[in-house]
Amino acid sequence: MNYEHITQVFRRLALLAGDKIMEIYDADDFDVQLKSDNSPVTVADQAADDLISAGLRAAFPDIALVTEEQASSHDIQARDFIIVDPLDGTKEFINRRGDFTVNIALVENGKAVRGVVYAPAKGRLFYTQPDGTAVEEMGDLNKDTAGLVAPLKVSNPDNDALMVVASKSHRDQATDDYIKQYNVKDMTSAGSSLKFCLIATGEADLYPRLGPTMEWDTAAGHAVLMGAGGTIVRFDDLTPLVYGKEAFRNPHFIAYAPGVRLKAS
């Protein structure tokens, strides 16, 4: 794989998709529909997906592409593929809360190895560099030339005073009960893949997810977190979370900085 090319293309497409999303976000109104699973979808989801998919297929015609908005891609069986959530956090988008992201990731042999997470409403761009390390880019975010970047590194957590992040739209009692097993200094809520990025930056130590997610929800954030020294494990047996599973469904999982002493599920 030419990781330099992958980094450039992923970054540029995420920024372009972000611009398209914000055009719709800033409009007076936009249509919201329900998919077959009753999850919401907007014209922004589809517009971003069209742009990203076209760009990826042109740049990487020989790599399988899986994207949330194209049901036909959900039947792909491959160990190596690109996986996309063109607008992760649609509920945050609809409610104009800003915690939504563009997610693009490369999976190789079941591992999320490269990825970009862009939060256009917040102006925050996280991605893996060609060598796999994770950064946050600062400044004006020029689409053709990367600017100044800050390396990301997970925290050295204090297990007597952990910083915990949880889902803003999918919080439940099971998650709260699990979090109560830890000594928590503070807890914050965030939407979309920003939760992984908060651990990658050291702003949080632990993110347990005891609810349904799909691989396109997690792969890009997983790559960024891994590039910052973090990890994600299955909730049931604490083995690494892998990709290319049946129907691209994830089990419950825990994302964390490695110094966290995990509690039994």
* Every domain of the chain and the residues it spans: 3-151, 162-256
> Would you call 80 helix, strand, or coil by DSSP?
coil
Residue 188 gets which letter from DSSP? Answer: E
259 annotated ligand-binding residue? no
89 annotated ligand-binding residue? yes
188 annotated ligand-binding residue? no
Do the domains spanning 3-151 and 162-256 agree at the CATH topology level? no
18 annotated ligand-binding residue? no
217 annotated ligand-binding residue? yes
The structure tokens listed for 83 are 């996986």
Residue 29 CA, distance from chain mean position? 26
pLDDT digits (tens), the chain, 265 positions: 899 999 999 999 999 999 999 999 988 777 777 665 656 678 899 999 999 999 999 999 999 999 999 988 898 889 899 999 999 988 888 888 889 999 999 999 999 999 999 999 999 999 999 999 999 999 999 999 999 999 999 999 999 999 999 876 667 888 999 999 999 999 988 888 999 999 999 999 999 999 999 999 999 999 999 999 999 999 999 999 999 999 999 999 999 999 999 997 7
Tell me, what's the pLDDT at 194? 95
**CA proximity to 184, closest of 159, 202, 166, 201:** 159
State the fold for domain 162-256. D-Maltodextrin-Binding Protein; domain 2 (3.40.190)
Tell me, what's the pLDDT at 103? 98
Domain range 3-151, CATH architecture: 2-Layer Sandwich (3.30)
Tell me, what's the pLDDT at 36? 59
176 annotated ligand-binding residue? no
Tell me, what's the pLDDT at 169? 66
215 annotated ligand-binding residue? no
